[in-house]
Structure 1
Amino acid sequence: MGFPLFVAAGEALTDMIVQDAAQQHWLGQVGGSTWNVARAMAKLDVSTAFAGAISQDVFGNALWRASEAARLDLRFLQRHARSPLLAIVHRTDPPAYFFVGDDSADLHFDAAQLPQGWRAQCKWVHFGGISLARQPLAGKLIALAEQLKQDGVRISYDPNYRVLMDERYDATLRRMTELADVIKVSEEDLEGLFRTKDIAAAFDTLRSWNPAATYLYTKGGAGASLHIGDASWSLPAPQIEVVDTVGAGDASIAALAWSMMHREYEEPSQHLRFCVAAGAAACLEQGASPPSLAAIEALL
């Protein structure tokens, strides 16, 4: 059996979303930004793995089953007798949340335990999310990214800003930006990561750390722009009836990677067109629902 062409490394977690604060009714949903990217790529029929660690309890079981259903390569999914990583969403409008995961399973991921020989076949590895803000996991993932860079594997990075990414995250942000070939960032990411309202200056600073990288700058309903060197391309979002925006950013970076892997000689504007359509297609269903190739092409 061969190894996957695409791997997303990071966190898989359970979102505990409040349904009725007074009665303390909660809805548990499988998630995690890097895990969602893996599912989005697998939905596009690319051999894909999620490299990370989950618990051995009911939460971990749900993530295992969902990974299996998504056709991810389960040889890369490690399990530990540790507590699960939970995102507690105690208010939904506006969103308010915190994470529970002291010494949880995700922190015990070990890249040395991944299948022997996988790096020789892998073409692209994605990093991001809160996995890079949680030690000792972050250090392990950065070391893995550095090894993959030396191997010539393409790297994408989506910081996906969350509240625990304070000034302690600054060095990681810079290092991962330096290592990545493709970087996805949103206006909210730039404001949070750089702790500023001057979004344009924050984006300029980010790009100065790796001028050779390709930058996908997503702007929600306003669409997105792609930046390569001194050139840039912009597109508005398709006009759709939005059901849920959860997972749209994850779908867009997966689609950009897919387009750059499978349509290498397309113009950058066509790569952008495909990933904007993917982000929109992800908004047509409830929850983090990765769009199929047919659903994306229907919006093109």
Structure 2
Amino acid sequence: MREIVVCGEALVDVVQEKRTSDAALAPLQPALGGGPFNVAITLGRLGSAVSFVSAVSTDNYGDAIVGALRNAGVGTAMLQRRPEPTSLALATIADDGSAQYSFYVEGTADRTVTDPGSLAPTVAAATFGTLSLVLEPGASVYENLMRRCHAERRLVVLDPNIRSVVIPDADAYRRRFRSWMPFVDVVKLSDEDAAWLGEGPAGSTVKEWLDDGVAAVVTTAGASGITVTTAEDEVSVPTPKVDVVDTIGAGDSVLGGLVHHLDRVGALSPDSVRSLTPDQWREVAVFAAHVAAVTVSRPGADPPWAGELRSD
């Protein structure tokens, strides 16, 4: 059995609904979230064998996080329960469904994660990203695990999911991101992430990441679709047309769908990913786009179960 481990934070998105008047505060609706948490939920609902590596609070929100993971079929044996509170993200929804975030992460549980130790031999792939690779001391723990997974010939997938408001030194982060590229097989990011990472004296580009050793870069562009770029080829697929409720968790659903499809076709290894043809990458991107289309058609990060996807 091939297993996937998802590494990173789980938190609570406090979604601010649209105001009904200028004088009234908009109501707040809590929802479980965090990029890596959403990826793990997506993989579990789609049917992959997946476990979550993180530090999760022992507060009520932390209990809800653990319950949601288990309900989705995500393994929780590697979770570390901590007394610190759960991180919060205030998400404000714009008229087009896009979300803007403010984060409350000082002294919270997820950034206190410690090394989980050796992963089981059955673990074929590991994903990393979002706040967990920014906030210390946990960021260094995840970075070391990423490098170890690469050395052990496990597939390494990275989604930086840039949240610039929590990055105190943009150029330092850009340099650190570039230093990870020799240890990463697949980078998934948005076009906005790619533009931000390319800015300033420490900026770098998709071509440079591929030259550093990345096998494929998967770039999302909202309604404009998904593009997969390798050293030899580039393929793009459109986004299915749906009525967008909000975009919370859309990119995370793409990543979960991508990794699940690689799992489904037996491509959870560095060598197999590098041998995929353009047509095979197109199939990966089409599947990931359909997973995300379901997510954005309903409120919050609510990815589909396998039975909700079209069979064609």
The TM tier, using the shorter chain, reads 0.7 to 0.9
- 1:162 is aligned to 2:163: yes
1:191 to 184, 195, 211: 195
Alpha-carbon contact 1:86-1:100 (below 8 Å) kept:
yes
**3-state secondary structure, aligned to 1:123:** strand
Identical pairs, percent: 25
Superposition map of 1:106-121 within 5 A: 106-112=110-116, 118-121=119-122
Q: CA deviation at 1:24?
A: 6.5
Gap runs ≥5 in structure 2: 268-275
Match of 2:182 in 1: 178
Q: Which moves more between the two structures, 262-271 or 80-89?
A: 262-271
Alpha-carbon contact 2:56-2:79 (below 8 Å) kept:
yes
> For 1:139 and 1:54, how far apart are their aligned partners in 2?
17
**3-state secondary structure, aligned to 1:98:** strand
Alpha-carbon contact 1:274-1:296 (below 8 Å) kept:
no
Q: CA deviation at 1:221?
A: 0.5
Which AA in structure 2 matches 1:13? L
Superposition map of 1:29-178 within 5 A: 29-89=31-91, 91-93=92-94, 95-112=99-116, 118-163=119-164, 164-165=166-167, 166-178=170-182
Q: CA deviation at 1:95?
A: 4.3
Q: CA deviation at 1:51?
A: 0.5
CA separation of 1:18/1:267 partners in 2, compared to 1, >3 Å: closer, same or farther? Answer: closer
- 1:277 is aligned to 2:290: yes
Deviation per CA, 1:191-223, whole angstroms, max 9, x where unpaired? 223337xx9x8433443433x411111111111
TM-score for the superposition, normalised by structure 1: 0.88
Deviation per CA, 1:21-72, whole angstroms, max 9, x where unpaired? 8447422111000111011111111111111011111221221221222221
CA separation of 1:297/1:96 partners in 2, compared to 1, >3 Å: closer, same or farther? Answer: closer
Could you say what the CA RMSD is over the residues aligned between the two structures, in angstroms? Answer: 2.3
CA separation of 1:202/1:68 partners in 2, compared to 1, >3 Å: closer, same or farther? Answer: same
CA separation of 1:181/1:118 partners in 2, compared to 1, >3 Å: closer, same or farther? Answer: same
Which AA in structure 2 matches 1:195? E
Deviation per CA, 1:79-121, whole angstroms, max 9, x where unpaired? 11112211123x4327443221222111221123x5xx63311
RCO higher in structure (CA 8 A, sep ≥6): 2
> For 2:86 and 2:236, how far apart are their aligned partners in 1?
40
> For 1:232 and 1:296, how far apart are their aligned partners in 2?
26
Aligned residues: 289
TM-score for the superposition, normalised by structure 2: 0.85
Match of 1:248 in 2: 250
Deviation per CA, 1:128-187, whole angstroms, max 9, x where unpaired? 011101011110001001111111110100000112232231233113332111110111
Q: CA deviation at 1:229?
A: 1.4
> For 1:239 and 1:99, how far apart are their aligned partners in 2?
31
- 1:7 is aligned to 2:5: yes
Which AA in structure 2 matches 1:181? D
**3-state secondary structure, aligned to 1:72:** coil
Which AA in structure 1 matches 2:257? A
Gap runs ≥5 in structure 1: none
Alpha-carbon contact 2:85-2:107 (below 8 Å) kept:
yes
> For 1:248 and 1:95, how far apart are their aligned partners in 2?
11
Q: CA deviation at 1:254?
A: 1.5
Structure with bigger helix share is: 1
